[in-house]
Structure 1
Amino acid sequence: MAETGAPRRQSLGFLLLYALAWAGGAMAYVPFLTILLPARMTALVGVSDVEYLGYVTFCGAVAASLAGIAFGWLSDVTRNRRGWIAAGLVLTILLLLAVPLAKDVWTLIGIILLWQLALNMVLSPLAAWAGDCVPDEQKGLLGGLIALSPALGAWSGAIATTPGLVSVDGRLAVVAGLVLLAVTPVLLFGRPRPFPELTAPPPVCADGDVAARPRGPAVRMWLARLLVQIAEAALFAYLYFWFRSIDPAMQDNEKARLFSVALTLAVPVALLAGRWADRRDRPFLPLVIGASVSAMGLVGMALAGDAGMAKASYLIFGIATTVFLSLHSGQTLRILPRSDRRGRDLGVFNLTNTVPSLIMPWLTISLVPGFGFETLFLLLAALAAGAVLLLATLPRGR
């Protein structure tokens, strides 16, 4: 613990190990859901791949929604974040390795359901662990470091899909190995400085009720993230097919590299914006700017007439959205109502990651066949603009 009167800061070593572990979660799902699963789906069902990808996305999102709340709550009750993370890690790796064994689409869907449960056994307690040991003065830095997660997740996809590196089925083994290497260090060597006030139960009022924080800011943060995540989820699941429609000659590795470049460029932007937010005590302003630029990128994608403009617009959208979501993850920890139910409440916030996957397939199936990706992107831009309105009037600081 810092000395009295000194700034309250968590050790940089723990923050870096934590950021690497969080990146391990992205390494598990980014290459799998954006590249490897769509390719596997095409191999199993051919021209029906988009339809079946919608089904598997829907079913997986339901499983992830329930698992996020359940495992977050269990880690609250047991006060054992590490144990749940370790168990989920083992199951996640085993299920990734089981994917090539699926010889029909329904077996694949079953594996994806179990994989979603296991992955959220890792991610929900891991998210709550940050709330247990990172003070408000470092929430912006935490958000900036979290931006490493999607970048490393995307680069893991680029590595796994490198032509000639491994067989198609062997790509999932590469991903599983990277996940293991990323998450294990914080479990073995992570020794965060204690901040007892962050884990102390909320006081009880004279009438016996728990004195929780106001819920208004949390609701608005939840809704804003939901709107941006709907846009992000649509691109996350259908980026493969959109680029294929723009440039049929684009290879899988080129798609993965473009995705990686956007997320990598977002890292220094998020770190600078997060540190600025900490120093100026303006935690929500970078979120407003990020959502605004995301909307602009989506408009550019809707108007893209060639591969060059499509790639440039996607880079704008990808960078801004990654900065927004990373910083949002850090700042969410400051507005949760109850410290003793942090894991459960973050599970509810995780619905902003999974509910879009319930909405997005039907939105895409309804709009893309008849109106094209252009109409979809304009609608998503309007949703991102709605997030700007929700966040623009939040209180300035602590």
Structure 2
Amino acid sequence: MTAGPQAAAAEEGTTPPGGRWVGALSLANLGVWVGWFGPLQLLLARQAEQLSPDHKASTLALVTGVGAAVSMVANPVFGALSDRTTARTGRRIPWVVAGVTGGAAGLAVLALAQSVPAVIAGWCLVQLALNAAFAALTAAVPDQVPVRRRGLVGGWLGVSQVIGILVGTALATIAGGIAGGYLACAVFTVVAAVPYVLMRRDSVLAASDRPAFHWRTFLGGFWIDPRRHPDFGWALLTRFLMNLSYSISTMYLLYYLTDAVRYEGDADNGVLILTALNAVTMLATVVIGGIRSDRSGRRKSYVIRSGLVIAAATLLLAVWQTWTGAVVASLILGLGFGVYTAVDFALLTDVLPTAEDRGRDLGVINIANALPQVLAPVIAAPVVLHLGGYTALYALAGALALAGSLLVRRIRSVP
């Protein structure tokens, strides 16, 4: 593939946004991750344990799998819809407002849920709505930010992701029970989006410029032929592998501490400690990694090396199943994911096929975030129960991260 996508991406977003806008965008993104990971880190697992104690692993797999399937469809669809939105406030902001509001409503449903079907319904609403907000927020980056600054902005989005996971886990731990945790996450998600919405910096699409809508064209646009856009295809595949590794590593962390490590204290607090340690080292590298990538003009070498670090950390979890091993692995995992989060996001925006369909194309890329959540429990449950336990599970996660790291070399248009 030629450098065409980079050139197209540079046509807009050539005036760097100020620090206030980047801060507001990052805060809104942080709120979305709180809405996702407060439930994913602790609340859904505890709810599954409470509602079906004899089948907690399979119940958690069902809830997260169905929700992730919704996410996989919602993100590209809402991204494409935001590309076509002609509101006076812009293409992206209306979807941020609708998304965080709907996400908070879904979290409230989860707080009140007294059955597994109710949990599934609430989590599906959370995934549907927050993916609308997330699709709009990520599309705002190539809209507003020139190529030479995307590593930096990607770094700050990585910071917000890390802090969002940490804050979500903390709220789930200290808010006073499952219902309190959900409601605390809901309030935070809405409040965090307010500064970004009030800034009203958004790209506006005139109604006269919006192409005519045809269902066949709209639906067909979600298939991006990897033969015509091979770098986009490789970027999608490598991100899928890395996120599948991460999902496998984190989704069963609570059960890993209780069943494999035999953690002596409160396992909820153990997850919070590991998440905090991971956040510390990730924060130490995420912005620096993005800045260094921008200055060097290189992306792939940073992504490859960070992927190797991630693979090493997951393999440690496989072979060193003690609290000390979990602490060391969490610290190393944060180092790798810090660089990976910032630089891989910048790399993805550099290989988008067209400038007009950024929301849709980033939504397609975000399938690589959602699909692993569908597949991770399907893969993890039988591995843990029948195919070698947590040693095999984390060895598999390491192998996936290694494959995702090495295949980045197949991308040609980005140095």
Q: What is the DSSP-based 3-state SS (H/G/I as helix, E as strand, rest coil) of the residue aligned with 2:26?
A: helix
Q: Structure 2 stretches of 5 or more lacking a match?
A: 1-13, 211-220
Letter in 2 for 1:109: I
Q: What is the DSSP-based 3-state SS (H/G/I as helix, E as strand, rest coil) of the residue aligned with 1:249?
A: coil
Partner of 2:62: 55
Name the stretch that deviates more: 251-260 or 26-35: 251-260
Q: What is the DSSP-based 3-state SS (H/G/I as helix, E as strand, rest coil) of the residue aligned with 1:340?
A: coil
Q: How does 1:205-244 map to 2 (within 5 A)?
A: 215-244=229-258
Note if contact 1:225-1:325 (Cα within 8 Å) is conserved in structure 2. Answer: no
Q: What is the DSSP-based 3-state SS (H/G/I as helix, E as strand, rest coil) of the residue aligned with 1:78?
A: coil
Letter in 2 for 1:289: R
Note if contact 2:306-2:337 (Cα within 8 Å) is conserved in structure 1. Answer: yes
1:75 aligns with 2:89: no
Letter in 2 for 1:16: G
Q: CA deviation at 1:41?
A: 1.3
**Cα distance in 2, alignment partners of residues 175 and 319 from structure 1:** 26
Letter in 2 for 1:83: P
Q: What is the DSSP-based 3-state SS (H/G/I as helix, E as strand, rest coil) of the residue aligned with 2:114?
A: coil
Q: How does 1:172-251 map to 2 (within 5 A)?
A: 172-191=182-201, 215-245=229-259, 246-251=261-266
Note if contact 1:160-1:174 (Cα within 8 Å) is conserved in structure 2. Answer: yes
Name the stretch that deviates more: 221-230 or 311-320: 311-320
Q: CA deviation at 1:190?
A: 4.8
Q: CA deviation at 1:186?
A: 0.5
Q: CA deviation at 1:162?
A: 4.8
Flag the 1:36–1:180 CA change in 2: closer, same or farther, 3 A.
same
**Cα distance in 2, alignment partners of residues 332 and 296 from structure 1:** 24
- Deviation string 1:237-266 (CA, Å, 9 cap, x unpaired) is 111111112134232123113212212321
Partner of 1:336: 352
**Cα distance in 1, alignment partners of residues 16 and 354 from structure 2:** 21
Q: CA deviation at 1:161?
A: 4.0
**Cα distance in 1, alignment partners of residues 408 and 66 from structure 2:** 31
**Cα distance in 2, alignment partners of residues 396 and 286 from structure 1:** 15
Letter in 2 for 1:330: A
**Cα distance in 2, alignment partners of residues 229 and 24 from structure 1:** 20
**Cα distance in 2, alignment partners of residues 393 and 107 from structure 1:** 44
1:65 aligns with 2:72: yes
**Cα distance in 2, alignment partners of residues 51 and 269 from structure 1:** 36
- Deviation string 1:276-309 (CA, Å, 9 cap, x unpaired) is 1111101222111110101111111111142111
The runs of at least 4 aligned residues of structure 1 exceeding 6 Å deviation read none
Name the stretch that deviates more: 385-394 or 220-229: 385-394
**Cα distance in 2, alignment partners of residues 396 and 117 from structure 1:** 33
Letter in 1 for 2:327: K
Q: What is the DSSP-based 3-state SS (H/G/I as helix, E as strand, rest coil) of the residue aligned with 1:60?
A: helix
**Cα distance in 1, alignment partners of residues 23 and 394 from structure 2:** 35
Flag the 1:105–1:397 CA change in 2: closer, same or farther, 3 A.
closer
Q: 2:389 aligns with which of 365, 372, 392?
A: 372
**Cα distance in 2, alignment partners of residues 57 and 287 from structure 1:** 28
TM-score norm. by structure 2 comes to 0.85
Q: How does 1:97-116 map to 2 (within 5 A)?
A: 97-116=108-127
**Cα distance in 2, alignment partners of residues 243 and 350 from structure 1:** 29
Q: CA deviation at 1:393?
A: 4.9
1:124 aligns with 2:135: yes
**Cα distance in 2, alignment partners of residues 396 and 343 from structure 1:** 21
**Cα distance in 2, alignment partners of residues 195 and 10 from structure 1:** 16
1:156 aligns with 2:164: no
**Cα distance in 2, alignment partners of residues 271 and 175 from structure 1:** 25
Letter in 2 for 1:9: P
Aligned length: 378
Q: What is the DSSP-based 3-state SS (H/G/I as helix, E as strand, rest coil) of the residue aligned with 1:392?
A: helix
Q: 1:321 aligns with which of 317, 337, 360?
A: 337
Name the stretch that deviates more: 332-341 or 308-317: 308-317
Letter in 2 for 1:377: Y
**Cα distance in 2, alignment partners of residues 327 and 286 from structure 1:** 7
Letter in 1 for 2:230: G
Q: 1:392 aligns with which of 372, 396, 409?
A: 409
**Cα distance in 1, alignment partners of residues 380 and 146 from structure 2:** 40
Q: How does 1:135-154 map to 2 (within 5 A)?
A: 135-154=146-165
Partner of 1:271: 287
Q: CA deviation at 1:395?
A: 4.2
Note if contact 2:111-2:183 (Cα within 8 Å) is conserved in structure 1. Answer: no
Q: CA deviation at 1:377?
A: 1.3
1:302 aligns with 2:312: no
Letter in 1 for 2:311: A
Note if contact 1:132-1:195 (Cα within 8 Å) is conserved in structure 2. Answer: no
Name the stretch that deviates more: 12-21 or 312-321: 312-321
Q: Structure 1 stretches of 5 or more lacking a match?
A: 1-6, 202-209
Flag the 1:112–1:162 CA change in 2: closer, same or farther, 3 A.
closer
Q: CA deviation at 1:317?
A: 2.0
**Cα distance in 2, alignment partners of residues 255 and 75 from structure 1:** 36
1:27 aligns with 2:34: yes
TM-score norm. by structure 1 comes to 0.89
Q: CA deviation at 1:335?
A: 0.9
Partner of 2:214: none
Note if contact 1:227-1:386 (Cα within 8 Å) is conserved in structure 2. Answer: yes
Q: What is the CA RMSD across the aligned residues, in angstroms?
A: 2.4
Flag the 1:102–1:171 CA change in 2: closer, same or farther, 3 A.
same
Note if contact 2:238-2:405 (Cα within 8 Å) is conserved in structure 1. Answer: yes
Partner of 1:206: none
